[in-house]
Structure 1
Amino acid sequence: MTTASPAPWILGLTGGIGSGKSAAAERFAELGVHVVDADQAARWVVEPGRPALAEIARHFGEGVLRADGTLDRAALRQLIFENADERRWLEGLLHPLIATEIAQALAKATSPYAVFVSPLMIESGQYRLAQRLLVVDVPEALQIERTLRRDNTSLEQVQAILKAQATREKRLSHADDVLVNDRDLAALRAEVERLHAFYLTLTGGH
Protein backbone atom coordinates (compact mmCIF):
# COMPACT_ATOMS: atom_id res chain seq x y z
CA MET A 1 0.00 0.00 0.00
CA THR A 2 1.48 3.33 -1.00
CA THR A 3 1.20 6.20 1.42
CA ALA A 4 0.11 9.47 -0.14
CA SER A 5 2.81 12.10 -0.07
CA PRO A 6 1.92 15.01 2.24
CA ALA A 7 0.11 17.94 0.64
CA PRO A 8 2.48 20.74 -0.31
CA TRP A 9 2.89 23.42 2.34
CA ILE A 10 2.75 27.07 1.34
CA LEU A 11 5.57 29.59 1.54
CA GLY A 12 4.41 33.20 1.41
CA LEU A 13 6.86 35.45 -0.44
CA THR A 14 6.65 39.22 -0.12
CA GLY A 15 8.72 42.39 -0.14
CA GLY A 16 8.25 46.07 -0.87
CA ILE A 17 8.37 47.62 -4.32
CA GLY A 18 11.77 47.16 -6.01
CA SER A 19 12.88 44.55 -3.46
CA GLY A 20 13.41 41.78 -6.03
CA LYS A 21 10.59 39.44 -4.98
CA SER A 22 9.70 38.73 -8.64
CA ALA A 23 13.29 37.71 -9.38
CA ALA A 24 13.25 35.49 -6.28
CA ALA A 25 9.94 33.92 -7.35
CA GLU A 26 11.36 33.29 -10.82
CA ARG A 27 14.32 31.38 -9.34
CA PHE A 28 11.99 29.25 -7.16
CA ALA A 29 9.99 28.42 -10.32
CA GLU A 30 13.18 27.43 -12.18
CA LEU A 31 13.99 25.09 -9.28
CA GLY A 32 10.68 23.30 -9.93
CA VAL A 33 8.59 24.95 -7.21
CA HIS A 34 4.94 25.72 -8.03
CA VAL A 35 4.58 29.53 -7.90
CA VAL A 36 1.28 31.42 -7.63
CA ASP A 37 1.32 35.19 -8.06
CA ALA A 38 -1.42 37.33 -6.45
CA ASP A 39 -0.91 40.06 -9.06
CA GLN A 40 -1.52 37.55 -11.84
CA ALA A 41 -4.64 36.28 -10.09
CA ALA A 42 -5.85 39.89 -9.84
CA ARG A 43 -5.35 40.24 -13.61
CA TRP A 44 -7.09 36.94 -14.42
CA VAL A 45 -10.29 37.78 -12.56
CA VAL A 46 -10.88 40.84 -14.77
CA GLU A 47 -10.11 39.17 -18.11
CA PRO A 48 -12.74 39.62 -20.83
CA GLY A 49 -15.47 37.02 -20.46
CA ARG A 50 -15.07 36.80 -16.68
CA PRO A 51 -18.08 37.95 -14.62
CA ALA A 52 -16.05 40.56 -12.69
CA LEU A 53 -15.31 42.60 -15.81
CA ALA A 54 -19.00 42.82 -16.79
CA GLU A 55 -19.84 43.79 -13.21
CA ILE A 56 -17.19 46.57 -13.22
CA ALA A 57 -18.42 47.93 -16.58
CA ARG A 58 -22.01 47.89 -15.30
CA HIS A 59 -21.04 49.79 -12.17
CA PHE A 60 -18.56 52.34 -13.57
CA GLY A 61 -19.82 52.57 -17.15
CA GLU A 62 -18.26 51.55 -20.46
CA GLY A 63 -15.56 54.22 -20.02
CA VAL A 64 -13.49 51.73 -18.01
CA LEU A 65 -13.24 49.41 -21.05
CA ARG A 66 -10.77 49.75 -23.89
CA ALA A 67 -11.89 49.42 -27.51
CA ASP A 68 -10.81 45.76 -27.51
CA GLY A 69 -13.04 44.99 -24.51
CA THR A 70 -10.22 44.71 -21.96
CA LEU A 71 -10.14 46.68 -18.72
CA ASP A 72 -8.65 50.17 -18.92
CA ARG A 73 -6.76 50.06 -15.63
CA ALA A 74 -5.65 53.69 -15.78
CA ALA A 75 -9.25 54.90 -16.22
CA LEU A 76 -10.44 52.69 -13.36
CA ARG A 77 -7.57 53.78 -11.11
CA GLN A 78 -8.52 57.40 -11.73
CA LEU A 79 -12.14 56.74 -10.68
CA ILE A 80 -11.31 54.92 -7.45
CA PHE A 81 -8.30 57.04 -6.55
CA GLU A 82 -10.51 60.02 -5.77
CA ASN A 83 -13.37 58.06 -4.20
CA ALA A 84 -12.93 55.81 -1.17
CA ASP A 85 -16.48 54.40 -1.44
CA GLU A 86 -15.90 53.29 -5.03
CA ARG A 87 -12.58 51.78 -4.06
CA ARG A 88 -14.27 49.80 -1.29
CA TRP A 89 -16.98 48.64 -3.71
CA LEU A 90 -14.33 47.39 -6.13
CA GLU A 91 -12.32 45.64 -3.39
CA GLY A 92 -15.51 44.00 -2.11
CA LEU A 93 -16.13 42.59 -5.59
CA LEU A 94 -12.58 41.54 -6.45
CA HIS A 95 -10.99 40.34 -3.20
CA PRO A 96 -13.16 37.20 -2.77
CA LEU A 97 -12.70 36.32 -6.48
CA ILE A 98 -8.94 36.79 -6.25
CA ALA A 99 -8.81 34.68 -3.06
CA THR A 100 -10.68 31.84 -4.83
CA GLU A 101 -8.39 32.08 -7.87
CA ILE A 102 -5.30 31.91 -5.60
CA ALA A 103 -6.66 28.95 -3.60
CA GLN A 104 -7.45 27.00 -6.78
CA ALA A 105 -4.01 27.72 -8.23
CA LEU A 106 -2.26 26.67 -5.00
CA ALA A 107 -4.31 23.45 -4.88
CA LYS A 108 -2.73 22.40 -8.20
CA ALA A 109 0.77 22.29 -6.69
CA THR A 110 2.64 18.99 -6.94
CA SER A 111 6.02 20.26 -5.66
CA PRO A 112 6.89 19.58 -1.95
CA TYR A 113 5.99 23.19 -1.19
CA ALA A 114 4.38 26.00 -3.19
CA VAL A 115 5.34 29.67 -3.28
CA PHE A 116 2.60 32.28 -3.02
CA VAL A 117 3.86 35.74 -4.05
CA SER A 118 2.02 38.91 -3.06
CA PRO A 119 3.22 42.50 -2.69
CA LEU A 120 0.42 43.18 -0.18
CA MET A 121 0.78 39.96 1.80
CA ILE A 122 0.75 41.69 5.19
CA GLU A 123 -1.68 44.51 4.37
CA SER A 124 -4.31 42.16 2.90
CA GLY A 125 -3.98 39.45 5.55
CA GLN A 126 -3.00 36.98 2.79
CA TYR A 127 -0.06 35.82 4.91
CA ARG A 128 -2.60 33.67 6.79
CA LEU A 129 -2.72 31.39 3.73
CA ALA A 130 0.94 30.48 4.22
CA GLN A 131 2.63 28.20 6.74
CA ARG A 132 5.84 30.19 6.50
CA LEU A 133 6.74 33.70 5.34
CA LEU A 134 9.84 34.79 3.43
CA VAL A 135 10.46 38.54 3.19
CA VAL A 136 12.82 39.94 0.56
CA ASP A 137 14.28 42.95 2.31
CA VAL A 138 16.12 45.92 0.83
CA PRO A 139 17.22 49.27 2.27
CA GLU A 140 14.67 51.93 1.26
CA ALA A 141 17.15 54.04 -0.72
CA LEU A 142 17.94 51.01 -2.88
CA GLN A 143 14.22 50.23 -3.33
CA ILE A 144 13.65 53.75 -4.64
CA GLU A 145 16.71 53.66 -6.92
CA ARG A 146 15.74 50.27 -8.44
CA THR A 147 12.10 51.24 -8.97
CA LEU A 148 13.01 54.53 -10.65
CA ARG A 149 15.38 52.64 -12.97
CA ARG A 150 12.83 49.92 -13.77
CA ASP A 151 9.51 51.74 -14.01
CA ASN A 152 10.46 55.07 -15.56
CA THR A 153 8.32 56.77 -12.91
CA SER A 154 8.66 59.82 -10.67
CA LEU A 155 10.15 59.90 -7.19
CA GLU A 156 6.79 61.16 -5.83
CA GLN A 157 4.99 58.13 -7.26
CA VAL A 158 7.49 55.69 -5.79
CA GLN A 159 7.21 57.38 -2.40
CA ALA A 160 3.39 57.23 -2.59
CA ILE A 161 3.58 53.48 -3.30
CA LEU A 162 6.00 52.97 -0.40
CA LYS A 163 3.57 54.81 1.88
CA ALA A 164 0.68 52.56 0.80
CA GLN A 165 2.68 49.39 1.51
CA ALA A 166 3.38 47.98 4.96
CA THR A 167 6.45 49.46 6.60
CA ARG A 168 9.67 47.50 6.46
CA GLU A 169 9.47 46.92 10.22
CA LYS A 170 5.95 45.55 9.98
CA ARG A 171 6.89 43.15 7.16
CA LEU A 172 9.96 41.94 9.03
CA SER A 173 7.96 41.38 12.21
CA HIS A 174 5.90 38.76 10.32
CA ALA A 175 8.88 37.08 8.63
CA ASP A 176 10.09 33.54 9.36
CA ASP A 177 12.94 34.02 6.90
CA VAL A 178 14.55 37.17 5.53
CA LEU A 179 16.47 37.39 2.26
CA VAL A 180 18.51 40.60 2.19
CA ASN A 181 18.75 41.55 -1.48
CA ASP A 182 21.27 44.38 -1.44
CA ARG A 183 23.75 42.80 -3.88
CA ASP A 184 23.43 41.58 -7.48
CA LEU A 185 21.08 39.09 -9.13
CA ALA A 186 23.59 36.23 -8.85
CA ALA A 187 23.70 36.69 -5.06
CA LEU A 188 19.89 36.72 -4.87
CA ARG A 189 19.64 33.51 -6.91
CA ALA A 190 22.27 31.78 -4.78
CA GLU A 191 20.36 32.75 -1.64
CA VAL A 192 17.10 31.35 -3.09
CA GLU A 193 18.92 28.07 -3.87
CA ARG A 194 20.17 27.88 -0.28
CA LEU A 195 16.66 28.52 1.09
CA HIS A 196 15.16 25.97 -1.33
CA ALA A 197 17.51 23.26 -0.06
CA PHE A 198 16.46 24.14 3.50
CA TYR A 199 12.72 24.23 2.64
CA LEU A 200 12.92 20.73 1.16
CA THR A 201 13.87 19.44 4.64
CA LEU A 202 10.74 20.91 6.26
CA THR A 203 7.37 19.31 6.85
CA GLY A 204 4.41 21.65 6.76
CA GLY A 205 6.79 24.59 6.72
CA HIS A 206 8.31 23.74 10.11
Structure 2
Amino acid sequence: MAEFILGLTGGIGSGKTTVANLFHEQGIELVDADVIAREVVEYGSVGLKAIEDHFGSDILQADGSLDRAKLRERIFTDESERLWLNNLLHPMIRQTMLSSAKNADSDYVILVVPLLFENGLDSLVDRTLVVDISPDLQIQRTVERDNVSEAQIANIIASQISREERLQKADDIIDNRGEIADLKEQVNRLHQYYLALAASKAPHD
Protein backbone atom coordinates (compact mmCIF):
# COMPACT_ATOMS: atom_id res chain seq x y z
CA MET A 1 0.00 0.00 0.00
CA ALA A 2 1.38 3.42 -1.04
CA GLU A 3 1.66 5.82 1.91
CA PHE A 4 2.57 8.87 -0.21
CA ILE A 5 0.03 10.25 -2.72
CA LEU A 6 0.99 12.83 -5.37
CA GLY A 7 -1.69 14.86 -7.14
CA LEU A 8 -0.81 15.60 -10.79
CA THR A 9 -2.76 18.28 -12.63
CA GLY A 10 -2.61 20.97 -15.33
CA GLY A 11 -4.90 22.75 -17.74
CA ILE A 12 -6.32 21.10 -20.87
CA GLY A 13 -3.62 20.28 -23.43
CA SER A 14 -0.79 20.82 -20.94
CA GLY A 15 0.61 17.30 -21.30
CA LYS A 16 -0.56 15.69 -18.05
CA THR A 17 -0.89 12.26 -19.69
CA THR A 18 2.62 12.41 -21.15
CA VAL A 19 4.07 13.36 -17.77
CA ALA A 20 2.03 10.71 -15.95
CA ASN A 21 3.26 8.04 -18.37
CA LEU A 22 6.89 9.07 -17.76
CA PHE A 23 6.37 8.49 -14.04
CA HIS A 24 4.65 5.18 -14.84
CA GLU A 25 7.77 4.11 -16.77
CA GLN A 26 9.62 4.52 -13.46
CA GLY A 27 7.29 1.92 -11.91
CA ILE A 28 4.85 4.34 -10.29
CA GLU A 29 1.16 3.38 -10.31
CA LEU A 30 -1.33 5.90 -11.71
CA VAL A 31 -4.91 6.51 -10.67
CA ASP A 32 -6.42 8.51 -13.54
CA ALA A 33 -9.56 10.53 -12.78
CA ASP A 34 -10.52 10.63 -16.48
CA VAL A 35 -10.41 6.82 -16.71
CA ILE A 36 -12.50 6.50 -13.54
CA ALA A 37 -14.89 9.19 -14.79
CA ARG A 38 -15.52 7.02 -17.86
CA GLU A 39 -16.02 3.92 -15.73
CA VAL A 40 -18.70 5.51 -13.53
CA VAL A 41 -20.83 6.39 -16.60
CA GLU A 42 -20.24 3.26 -18.68
CA TYR A 43 -23.13 1.22 -20.08
CA GLY A 44 -25.30 -0.20 -17.30
CA SER A 45 -23.85 2.01 -14.55
CA VAL A 46 -25.80 3.93 -11.90
CA GLY A 47 -24.11 7.12 -13.12
CA LEU A 48 -25.32 6.70 -16.70
CA LYS A 49 -28.89 5.97 -15.56
CA ALA A 50 -28.94 9.22 -13.54
CA ILE A 51 -27.60 11.20 -16.53
CA GLU A 52 -30.26 9.70 -18.82
CA ASP A 53 -33.00 10.49 -16.29
CA HIS A 54 -31.81 14.10 -16.07
CA PHE A 55 -30.96 14.97 -19.69
CA GLY A 56 -33.24 12.56 -21.55
CA SER A 57 -32.48 9.56 -23.75
CA ASP A 58 -31.13 11.74 -26.59
CA ILE A 59 -27.94 12.08 -24.49
CA LEU A 60 -27.25 8.42 -25.39
CA GLN A 61 -25.81 6.95 -28.57
CA ALA A 62 -27.65 4.29 -30.55
CA ASP A 63 -25.93 1.48 -28.61
CA GLY A 64 -27.07 2.92 -25.27
CA SER A 65 -23.68 4.36 -24.28
CA LEU A 66 -23.12 7.99 -23.35
CA ASP A 67 -22.79 10.52 -26.18
CA ARG A 68 -19.83 12.40 -24.69
CA ALA A 69 -19.70 15.12 -27.33
CA LYS A 70 -23.36 15.96 -26.78
CA LEU A 71 -22.95 15.96 -23.00
CA ARG A 72 -19.85 18.17 -23.21
CA GLU A 73 -21.74 20.63 -25.38
CA ARG A 74 -24.63 20.78 -22.87
CA ILE A 75 -22.50 21.29 -19.76
CA PHE A 76 -20.09 23.85 -21.18
CA THR A 77 -22.90 26.08 -22.42
CA ASP A 78 -24.95 25.87 -19.22
CA GLU A 79 -23.23 26.38 -15.88
CA SER A 80 -26.11 24.91 -13.86
CA GLU A 81 -25.98 21.66 -15.87
CA ARG A 82 -22.22 21.43 -15.34
CA LEU A 83 -22.69 21.83 -11.60
CA TRP A 84 -25.43 19.19 -11.56
CA LEU A 85 -23.17 16.71 -13.34
CA ASN A 86 -20.25 17.49 -11.01
CA ASN A 87 -22.42 16.94 -7.94
CA LEU A 88 -23.49 13.55 -9.30
CA LEU A 89 -20.13 12.21 -10.45
CA HIS A 90 -17.49 13.70 -8.16
CA PRO A 91 -18.41 11.70 -5.03
CA MET A 92 -18.36 8.49 -7.12
CA ILE A 93 -15.01 9.39 -8.69
CA ARG A 94 -13.47 10.45 -5.37
CA GLN A 95 -14.44 7.20 -3.63
CA THR A 96 -13.10 5.03 -6.46
CA MET A 97 -9.86 7.00 -6.69
CA LEU A 98 -9.13 6.73 -2.97
CA SER A 99 -9.84 3.00 -3.00
CA SER A 100 -7.48 2.52 -5.97
CA ALA A 101 -4.74 4.65 -4.36
CA LYS A 102 -4.91 2.65 -1.14
CA ASN A 103 -4.43 -0.59 -3.09
CA ALA A 104 -1.39 0.67 -5.07
CA ASP A 105 1.85 -1.26 -4.55
CA SER A 106 4.42 1.23 -5.89
CA ASP A 107 6.67 3.39 -3.66
CA TYR A 108 4.18 6.22 -4.12
CA VAL A 109 1.05 6.66 -6.20
CA ILE A 110 -0.08 9.48 -8.49
CA LEU A 111 -3.65 10.73 -8.76
CA VAL A 112 -3.96 12.27 -12.23
CA VAL A 113 -6.76 14.82 -11.87
CA PRO A 114 -7.48 17.61 -14.42
CA LEU A 115 -9.62 19.54 -11.89
CA LEU A 116 -7.56 18.75 -8.78
CA PHE A 117 -7.82 22.24 -7.28
CA GLU A 118 -11.22 23.17 -8.72
CA ASN A 119 -12.86 20.18 -7.01
CA GLY A 120 -10.88 20.37 -3.77
CA LEU A 121 -9.23 17.01 -4.43
CA ASP A 122 -5.84 18.42 -3.44
CA SER A 123 -7.04 17.73 0.13
CA LEU A 124 -6.64 14.00 -0.63
CA VAL A 125 -2.95 14.17 -1.57
CA ASP A 126 0.35 14.77 0.20
CA ARG A 127 1.82 16.98 -2.53
CA THR A 128 0.73 18.59 -5.80
CA LEU A 129 2.50 18.75 -9.16
CA VAL A 130 1.32 21.07 -11.95
CA VAL A 131 2.24 20.62 -15.63
CA ASP A 132 2.40 24.13 -17.06
CA ILE A 133 2.27 25.63 -20.56
CA SER A 134 0.94 28.96 -21.88
CA PRO A 135 -2.79 29.34 -22.73
CA ASP A 136 -1.90 29.90 -26.41
CA LEU A 137 -0.02 26.62 -26.47
CA GLN A 138 -2.93 24.90 -24.65
CA ILE A 139 -5.30 25.95 -27.44
CA GLN A 140 -2.87 25.04 -30.23
CA ARG A 141 -2.10 21.57 -28.86
CA THR A 142 -5.72 20.72 -28.05
CA VAL A 143 -6.96 21.81 -31.50
CA GLU A 144 -4.34 19.54 -33.08
CA ARG A 145 -5.08 16.63 -30.72
CA ASP A 146 -8.90 16.67 -30.52
CA ASN A 147 -9.88 18.43 -33.76
CA VAL A 148 -12.27 20.77 -31.91
CA SER A 149 -12.87 24.49 -32.26
CA GLU A 150 -10.73 27.10 -30.52
CA ALA A 151 -13.94 28.56 -29.04
CA GLN A 152 -14.82 25.28 -27.31
CA ILE A 153 -11.32 24.98 -25.87
CA ALA A 154 -11.43 28.59 -24.70
CA ASN A 155 -14.70 27.77 -22.86
CA ILE A 156 -13.06 24.80 -21.15
CA ILE A 157 -10.02 26.89 -20.15
CA ALA A 158 -12.38 29.56 -18.77
CA SER A 159 -14.17 26.91 -16.67
CA GLN A 160 -10.88 25.93 -15.02
CA ILE A 161 -8.96 28.03 -12.49
CA SER A 162 -6.53 30.54 -13.95
CA ARG A 163 -2.97 29.58 -14.79
CA GLU A 164 -1.72 32.01 -12.14
CA GLU A 165 -3.90 30.49 -9.40
CA ARG A 166 -2.95 26.93 -10.38
CA LEU A 167 0.76 27.78 -10.21
CA GLN A 168 0.27 29.52 -6.88
CA LYS A 169 -1.36 26.41 -5.40
CA ALA A 170 1.26 24.00 -6.78
CA ASP A 171 3.94 22.46 -4.58
CA ASP A 172 5.98 21.53 -7.66
CA ILE A 173 5.83 22.65 -11.31
CA ILE A 174 6.90 21.00 -14.57
CA ASP A 175 7.49 23.35 -17.51
CA ASN A 176 6.25 21.50 -20.62
CA ARG A 177 7.00 24.16 -23.23
CA GLY A 178 10.25 22.54 -24.34
CA GLU A 179 11.50 19.28 -25.81
CA ILE A 180 10.71 15.77 -24.56
CA ALA A 181 14.31 15.32 -23.32
CA ASP A 182 13.88 18.30 -21.01
CA LEU A 183 10.55 16.90 -19.82
CA LYS A 184 12.12 13.53 -19.00
CA GLU A 185 14.90 15.24 -17.05
CA GLN A 186 12.37 17.14 -14.93
CA VAL A 187 10.36 13.97 -14.27
CA ASN A 188 13.46 11.98 -13.29
CA ARG A 189 14.58 14.68 -10.86
CA LEU A 190 11.14 14.88 -9.23
CA HIS A 191 10.81 11.08 -9.12
CA GLN A 192 13.96 10.85 -6.97
CA TYR A 193 12.60 13.60 -4.74
CA TYR A 194 9.23 11.85 -4.31
CA LEU A 195 10.94 8.53 -3.55
CA ALA A 196 12.78 10.25 -0.70
CA LEU A 197 9.57 11.86 0.58
CA ALA A 198 7.71 8.54 0.37
CA ALA A 199 10.51 6.76 2.25
CA SER A 200 10.41 9.33 5.03
CA LYS A 201 6.63 8.92 5.35
CA ALA A 202 6.56 5.12 5.27
CA PRO A 203 5.98 3.36 8.60
CA HIS A 204 9.17 1.95 10.09
CA ASP A 205 9.35 -1.44 11.76
Same fold by TM (over 0.5)?
A: yes
Aligned counterpart in structure 2 of residue 30 of structure 1, from 25, 40, 56 = 25
- The one-letter code of the counterpart of 1:161 is I
Counterpart of 2:134 in structure 1 is 139
Structure 2 unaligned blocks of 5 or more = none
Counterpart of 2:125 in structure 1 is 130
Instruction: Report 1:62-141 matches (<5 A).
Output: 62-141=57-136
Counterpart of 2:37 in structure 1 is 42
Would the aligned equivalents of 1:11 and 1:116 in 2 still touch at CA under 8 Å? yes
Q: Distance in 2 between matches of 1:127 and 1:103?
A: 12
The Cα offsets for residues 3-56 of structure 1, whole Å up to 9 and x where unpaired, read as xxx742100111112211110001111111010111111111001121111222
Q: Distance in 2 between matches of 1:140 and 1:120?
A: 16
Q: Distance in 1 between matches of 2:72 and 2:133?
A: 28
Counterpart of 2:53 in structure 1 is 58
SS at match of 1:71: coil
RMSD: 1.9
SS at match of 2:31: strand
Counterpart of 1:192 in structure 2 is 187
- The one-letter code of the counterpart of 2:170 is A
Could you tell which deviates more after superposition, 104-113 or 147-156?
147-156
Aligned counterpart in structure 1 of residue 158 of structure 2, from 156, 163, 188 = 163
Aligned counterpart in structure 1 of residue 170 of structure 2, from 163, 171, 175 = 175
- The one-letter code of the counterpart of 1:8 is E
| Aligned sequence identity (%) | 48
Are residues 76 and 160 of structure 1, via their aligned partners in 2, closer, same or farther at CA, if it must alter by over 3 Å? Answer: closer
| Count of residues in Structure 1 that have an aligned counterpart in Structure 2 | 200
TM-score under structure 1 length normalisation: 0.89
Would the aligned equivalents of 1:8 and 1:110 in 2 still touch at CA under 8 Å? no
Deviation at 1:86, TM superposition (A): 3.5
Deviation at 1:83, TM superposition (A): 4.1
